[in-house]
Structure 1
Amino acid sequence: MTNLVLFGPPGAGKGTQADILKEKYQLVHISTGDVFRYNIKNETELGLTAKSFIDKGQLVPDEVTINMLNAEVDKNAEANGFIFDGFPRTENQADALAELLKGKGTEVKAMIALEVEDEVLVKRLLERGKTSGRKDDADEAVIRNRITVYYEETAILKEYYKKQNKYYGVDGVGSIEEITERISKVIDNL
């Protein structure tokens, strides 16, 4: 199984790249953001809990996220592998993901991090906010807080995966095709 963690700050292009890579490599894309938005829209218990944190630009608690992830992996038990987008975000989640995959006889092969400067991220998210309908993309203060939270709470996973020789930084600026080509070189050499 090819299991990838697609990583990077909000607005780095993870969703765009995951959509391309899932087709190219026949993988299942699990985006915690998409799953949360679905649950929020449908006002499920998970959605309401997640919304209270997302509205403040905070991360959703591990237990909620891990339970949701486990269900998504189980739905796709016959997959060639997974692209995890927006997960893990903490060392506890990374450990939980490792245990979950180990129980299925597999592991994370690589963490691919899209690297993009903050000002580019803010510009991308404000643009996306004009068309996405996402309130968290329309407010620059919320965007900057999301980026700060990413660096303070999530970027530590870079070291976690570096220690396992599974971290790959990829320049996330350029055309979609250029970025896909850079990511594909990493995947093809795993």
Structure 2
Amino acid sequence: MRIVLVGPPGAGKGTQAAFLAKNLGIPHISTGDLFRANISQGTELGKQAKAYMDAGKLVPDEVTIGMAKDRMEQPDAANGFLLDGFPRNVSQAEALDEMLKAEAMKLDAVLDLEVPEDEVVKRIAGRRICRNDSSHVFHVTYKQPKQEGVCDVCAGELYQRDDDSEETVRTRLEVYHTQTEPIIDYYARQGLVVTISALGKVEEVTGRAMEALKSKVGDK
């Protein structure tokens, strides 16, 4: 099964992608992991990406597309994959279609995680991170620490990252609406999109997603 996962920041794409990939027995291919792997391994594409990033510039589509192509050609992706963060715009979606067509393959579904904008802001702006260990994450509403401002695990100070501020979140949402959301229409014209609500507990959303994919593509 070949799936593209889309949704606004704060929709829980990374969490859902990991659960879905495990349940479906296919690799989870995320843009973030692609960049980190290529940069740490010193690949030519990784060097190009790092040069742009170090200069504070956006990495060109062709570099991202090249990384995705290399990853999708790995043996573990022969029977399918779940793409998270790629394609990010219509140009990348068109390039993905061409890549798959060249291999006589095609996407099976595009899973759209739908979350109201106010909920996205609430989810992200409410996050608090431990200064001692960024893996210790709390939330002012959904996962409150026992003592306000103090990490339950190590007693470190909890803080809000700059990119989690409401202003920054709304800017990220605007970028999503402008650049990424158009791919939903692009894939809808191909009859590939299935939309589900990403509200509720993680396992509820996963169950909803699995049912939607099964109804869309069967037991592929």
In which range does the TM-score fall when normalised by the shorter chain?
0.7 to 0.9
Structure 1 residue 13 corresponds to structure 2 residue 16: no
- Give the fraction of aligned pairs with identical amino acids, expressed as a percent: 40
1:108 maps to a residue whose letter is L
The alpha-carbon deviation at position 70 of structure 1 amounts to 1.1
Out of 123-132 and 90-99, give the one that drifted further. 123-132
Which range moved further: 117-126 or 8-17? 117-126
- Name stretches of at least 5 consecutive residues in structure 2 with no aligned partner: 136-159
Higher relative CO (CA 8 A, sep ≥ 6), structure 1 or 2?
Answer: 1
Tell me by how many angstroms 1:135 deviates: 5.3
Task: Please give the alpha-carbon distance, in whole angstroms, between the structure 2 residues aligned to 1:40 and 1:145.
Answer: 27
Counterparts of 1:3-152 in structure 2 under 5 Å?
Answer: 3-37=2-36, 44-45=46-47, 46-50=49-53, 52-53=56-57, 60-76=59-75, 78-128=77-127, 130=129, 132=134, 137-152=163-178
What is the root-mean-square deviation of aligned Cα atoms in Å?
2.5
- Counterpart in the other structure of 1:168: 194
SS in 1 for 2:190: coil
Name whichever structure is richer in helix by fraction. Answer: 1
Counterpart contact for 2:28–2:82, Cα < 8 Å: yes
Residue identity in the other structure for 1:88: P
Separation of aligned partners in 2, 1:146 and 1:98: 26
TM-score, normalised on structure 1?
Answer: 0.84
2:28 aligns to what SS in structure 1? Answer: strand
Report SS of the residue matched to 1:173: coil
Instruction: Tell me: CA distance 1:21–1:153, structure 2 relative to 1, closer, same or farther (3 Å).
Output: same
- Alpha-carbon displacement from aligned partner over 1:107-128 (angstroms, at most 9, x marks no partner): 1111111011122212222344
Say if 1:28 and 1:79, in contact at 8 Å, map to a contact too.
no
What is the CA distance between 1:48 and its match in structure 2?
A: 4.3
2:210 to 167, 179, 184: 184
Deviations 1:122-164 (A, max 9, x none): 2222344625479564333322211100001111111111111
Q: Structure 1 residues 25 and 77, CA, compared in 2 at 3 Å: closer, same or farther?
A: closer
Give the CA deviation at 1:66.
0.4
Q: Which amino acid aligns with 2:172?
A: R
Q: Which has the larger radius of gyration?
A: 2
Change in CA separation of 1:80 and 1:28 when aligned onto 2, cut-off 3 Å: same
What secondary structure, in the 3-state scheme, does the structure 2 residue paired with 1:108 have? coil
Name structure 1 gaps, 5 residues minimum. Answer: 54-58
TM-score by length of 2: 0.74
CA shift for structure 1 position 62? 1.1
